[in-house]
Amino acid sequence: MKNDGLLPASWKKPAALVFAGGIFWGALWLYAGAPEGGIKWFKFVIPALWSDGIMQEAPAGPGWITNNITDELLLTWITLSGLVLGFSRERVEDEAIRQLRWKALARATWINAVLFLGATWTVYGVPYLYVMYAQLVAFLLVFNVLLAVSLRNWYSLGHEE
């Protein structure tokens, strides 16, 4: 089988659960507020390519910094599970399914751009930070929601025997 960049179908359901959990956790933190500085057990000394030395306990520039990696873990969790969810095969992965995935990808790109530009021209000050936070995962979220709706409609196509 030629490599089409898709992952095994068996990965899809676990990825959906993990992605939904990550989005829920992220949304909860965004609106209810995260613990100050993240979860205390996740504070480590880590390598940094670039650090301003303001928000981390470290001098500016590249080097080793002490940082709480809670948000890094959450972003990695959401990004990887979102990619696996969106790019796992269907049970029968044929050309029609590939077309649905492509359309969802194209529509998500446009919708995300409209949302982002809409917020850029209407949200100012500190609230714009939330726009940037949301942008970190918005594309994957919109893509996966559009794909899930398309697939649901597709699988509900009736028999025409």
Closest distance between other proteins and the C-beta of residue 105, in Å?
18
Closer Cβ to other proteins, 72 or 90, answer by number: 90
Task: State yes or no: residue 8 binds other proteins (CB under 8 A).
Answer: no
Longest CA pairwise span in the chain (Å): 71
**Cβ(82)–Cβ(146) below 8 Å:** no
Closest distance between other proteins and the C-beta of residue 152, in Å?
12
Kindly give the pairing relationship between strand 63-68 and strand 43-48: antiparallel
- x-or-dash string of contact with other proteins, 88-127, rule CB under 8 A: --xxx-xxxx-x----------------------------
Closest distance between other proteins and the C-beta of residue 107, in Å?
17
Closest distance between other proteins and the C-beta of residue 3, in Å?
18
Task: State yes or no: residue 36 binds other proteins (CB under 8 A).
Answer: no
Could you tell me which of 131, 141, 149 has the C-alpha nearest to residue 82?
Answer: 141
Number of residues interacting with other proteins: please give it, by CB under 8 A. Answer: 15
Chain residues that interact with other proteins, rule: CB under 8 A: 90-92, 94-97, 99, 154-155, 157-161
